[in-house]
Structure 1
Amino acid sequence: MQFDPDNKIVQLCTEGMNAAATGQPETAHRLFRQAWDLADNDFDALTAAHFLARHQTSREDTLQWNLEALNRAFAIKDETVKSFYPSLYLNVAKAYEDLSNLPAAVQHYQLAASYSHHLPEGSYGNMIKTGISNGLQRTGANGFNPPVLEALVNHWCETKQLQALSFVLPPYLSNLGTPHHINKLISALSYLSATRCLPVAEQEKVDQLIATLSDSVH
């Protein structure tokens, strides 16, 4: 789904963002609230609720508006709305984390990760993935951290093995532990293995790691 710059709700939210950026929080909140009051469909309500959630003075209200945005997304019968799910789940998770409700936070960080393959490639998608990864780590929920892989990456960084890092680092850094992300990492490791550019001991570790990761997603 695309944001229409001529949409009145989008225009009000844009004005609100500009007000917030210039140190006018009360004006920003008023504009976002106006957008909410004028919203007459789920997409417009989602947009307004998303920005209202970012300009609340209590953590409880922040959670409620983030939940409202997420629920409005659920009501939209358009497959492309799934590209919003990772960000919306991330916001809900962080709101629960700020309220010290770690079980709910973990659940929503994991849901954000499960939809992360719908994110577009590029800086926005990478930003959301980083936020999800950091949230999983803060809440102790990131179960994907193979010690062998971590040791190899650290060694390649220390010894400046740029060829190995060029294959592995992007999927390693963006890996959220989902089958989709693990398969991307397996592909990168397989390409690296095929180059036969590593010392024998590292080559063996990479090949074993590929087998272990493959078993984990089958």
Structure 2
Amino acid sequence: MNFDPENKVVRLCAKGMQAEAEGKIEEAGNCFKQAWEAATNNFEKFTAAHYCARNQPDPQVNLQWNLDALKYVDAIESDELKTHYPSLYLNIGKSYETLNDLPSAGKYYQLASESAVHLPDNGYGKMLKAGINEGLKRAGLKGYYNSTIDALINDWCDRKELRPLSLVLPAYLQNLGTDEDINTLITALSFLSATRCLNAEEQRKIEGVIADLVR
């Protein structure tokens, strides 16, 4: 699926995002509405619906736009658009959560988790994985959790220990339990262990967690 920056719908959505960044929420909404009205194919309708869902004061309207975005991207059936599914599922899950429908929210958070393998390994992908993990937990599902790491992070936060937090927190929050995510966490914990910046008790706990994860 070729992305055309000159496409009218794409340009209107980009204009809306610029307005939103400047705090002009009403102007942004108007741009997204114009994009929807200009959309003529499934890709354009998916793009416009995705942006129309933003900043909707009515959670039911927000949900409907997100569901519409998913409907139109499903109709395209393109492998090139698989990177969009984690965000779409996450948005739908949050919409259901806002409406206090946790079973439906959990369903879409789980779909987001399963499709996260298509996310790029960059800041955007890591941000979405962290959001998915937290959504799973709020829905009462199994996001990745380790009680020892949790307790250590709480202690480091209390003591403002920035070095271990900076090394471990990203890999922990973005962990969806896949082999790749577990290996990333092992690498972060191993690097922290090698720095020898922890007290003896914390060092022992970190080495214990590493040993458990590599089994």
What is the TM-score of this pair, normalised by structure 2?
A: 0.78
Quick one: distance in 2 between partners of 1:77 and 1:106? 24
**Structure 1's 130 and 192: CA in aligned 2 closer, same or farther, altered over 3 A?**
closer
Give the superposition deviation at 1:111.
1.9
Say if 1:24 and 1:188 are closer, same or farther in 2 by CA, change over 3 A.
Answer: closer
State yes or no: 1:10 paired with 2:32. Answer: no
Q: Say which SS state the counterpart of residue 100 (structure 2) adopts.
A: coil
Q: Is the 8 A contact 1:142 1:177 kept in 2?
A: no
CA deviation vs aligned residue, 1:77-127 (integer Å, no higher than 9, x gap) = 433312211211111001111221101101211222333343334443344
Matched residues in 2 for 1:97 and 1:180: separation? 28
Conserved? CA contact 2:4–2:10, under 8 Å: yes
Q: Are positions 1:58 and 2:58 aligned together?
A: yes
User: Residue 76 of structure 2 corresponds to which residue in structure 1?
Assistant: 76
* Structure 1 stretch displaced more, 131-140 or 98-107: 131-140
Structure-2 separation of matches of 1:59 and 1:72: 20
Alpha-carbon offset, residue 202 of structure 1: 3.7
Q: Distance in 2 between matches of 1:197 and 1:31?
A: 51
State the partner residue of 2:140: 140
Q: How far did 1:28 drift?
A: 4.7
Do 1:117 and 1:180's aligned partners in 2 also have CA atoms closer than 8 Å?
A: no
Distance apart, 1:160 and its partner CA: 6.2
In the TM superposition, residue 199 of structure 1 has moved relative to its aligned partner by 5.2
Q: Which residue number in structure 2 is paired with residue 173 of structure 1?
A: 173
Whole-Å separation in 1 of the counterparts to 2:213 and 2:43: 39
Q: Is the 8 A contact 2:12 2:35 kept in 1?
A: yes
Q: Which residue of 1 aligns with 2:187?
A: 187
1:210 aligns with 2:213: no
How far the C-alpha of 1:156 sits from its partner, in A, is 4.3
Contact conserved, 1:113 with 1:178, CA < 8 A, in 2? no
Residue identity opposite 1:45 in structure 2: K
Instruction: Give 3-state SS (helix, strand or coil) of 2:5's partner.
Output: coil
Could you tell me how far apart the structure 1 residues matched to 2:116 and 2:143 are? 16
* Pairwise CA distance, 1:193: 4.2
Partner of 2:104: 104
Any stretches of 5+ residues in structure 2 without a counterpart?
none
Q: Is the 8 A contact 1:156 1:162 kept in 2?
A: yes
Aligned identity (percent) is: 50
Q: In the alignment, what sits opposite 1:120?
A: 120
- Alpha-carbon separation, structure 2, partners of 1:42 and 1:188: 42
Q: Are the structure 2 counterparts of residues 5 and 143 from structure 1 closer, same or farther at C-alpha, using a change threshold of 3 Å?
A: closer
CA distance in 1, matches of 2:117, 2:71: 20
CA distance in 2, matches of 1:31, 1:163: 43
Q: Would the aligned equivalents of 2:134 and 2:143 in 1 still touch at CA under 8 Å? A: no
- Residue 131 of structure 1 corresponds to 131
- Structure 1: which amino acid aligns with 2:153? V
Q: Contact 1:46–1:72 (CA<8 Å) still a contact in 2? A: yes
C-alpha RMSD of matched pairs (Å): 3.1
Aligned partners of 1:32 and 1:52 also within 8 Å: yes
- TM-score where L is the length of structure 1: 0.77
Aligned length: 214
AA partner of residue 86 (structure 1):
P
